[in-house]
Amino acid sequence: MTGPGVRGDTKATSAGDAPATGPRALTRPPRLKQGDRVGIVAPSGPVPPERLAAGLDVLREWGLEPVVGRHVLNPHPGLRHLASVDEHRVSDFQAAWCDPSLAAVVAARGGYGSQRVLDLLDWELLRGAAPKVFVGYSDLTVLHEALAQQLGLATLHGPMTATASFLEDVATREHLRQTLFTPEKVREIGLGTAARTLVPGRAHGITLGGNLSLLAAERGTRHARPSAAGGILLLEDIDQPPYSLDRLLTQLLRSGWLEGVAGIALGSWTDCGDHEEVSDVLRERLAPLGVPVVEELGFGHGSSTPTVPLGVPAVLDADARTLTYDEPGLL
């Protein structure tokens, strides 16, 4: 399988140069349309019922028919940080993914728990289903990576149904809605944000990544991408002080995972401490890679967050402080 984990001839270029040819993009699932049914699953932490109900109402306003997994609101009998027992979370995900009447699978929220289900999923069964949209972020980073590696599928790093940004921020909801229904209208990320250039230049590659903590935690596991080479790496996190961000980035550097990366787009660092100190850590660890780096592109755990496709070719222009996709995230 080709993709951002496979070395190609993608490379950073100086500003104004034509983007380099990169590895082949992943399969893009079809966009949504009015009347589509979408599965709601909880592979990670427990879901507050009232927040889920409010999120489902939004989906219905968009003309979608949400179908909630059987165990989404069934608490784990002992571990309060999990939505339900592992087998139930696996069952709900597989049932939704393999249901031909569902056009998308959307996570209700993040938290923790997705890593526990990866080795229990029947990947042969999942491969037999038609490609469909997957939406989530944070803890769901490991599912984005596994779907890319195991199914060769592009996914959406976006707000989840019962999360604060989806429920409380109009811009967040609208960006996800357009990405789902009219993805050609939202091919550029960065306009109107507080984005800053850390390392200048221009790079072309396939987008990948997500939550820094989860990417570092997955190193050495069976579903982990072997390398970020040739890709435009998206990174964000929450509640990690500067020294912890340093440690996580150092893990990716020392393991060789960042060798050959084409460019790096940085999102929000909510509750990670002083902004300038965080920025200093990011610059000190990432600038020596010699590739374009942009910070504060807005995606992630912030109060307002854009939806960013993963597994799709894009140009990262550090000077213009934009990430522009070659093609829409969905067909």
Active site residues: 138, 236, 301
Using alpha carbons only, give the angle 133, 139, 141 rounded to the nearest 5 degrees. Answer: 50
The CA distance from 1 to 179, in Å, is: 26
Q: Give the count of beta carbons closer than 10 Å to the beta carbon of residue 254.
A: 10
In this structure, the chain runs to a length of: 331
Tokens encoding 109: 């929220």
Residue 283, SS3 per DSSP: helix
User: Which residues lie across from 294 on neighbouring strands?
Assistant: 197, 265
Contacts of 292 (CB under 8 A, 6+ apart): 12, 199, 200, 201, 202, 203, 263, 264, 316, 317, 318
Tokens encoding 164: 């604060």
Q: Does residue 32 contact residue 181 with C-beta atoms inside 8 Å?
A: yes
Tokens encoding 254: 């020392």
Question: Which phi and psi angles does 179 have, rounded to 5°?
Answer: -60, -35
The string of DSSP letters for 209-272 reads EEEHHHHHHTTTSTTS-S--TTEEEEEEEES--HHHHHHHHHHHHHTTTTTT--EEEEEEEETS
Sheet holding 65-68, edge to edge: 65-68, 37-41, 102-107, 133-136, 155-157, 308-310
Tokens encoding 202: 């221009």
Residue 40, SS3 per DSSP: strand
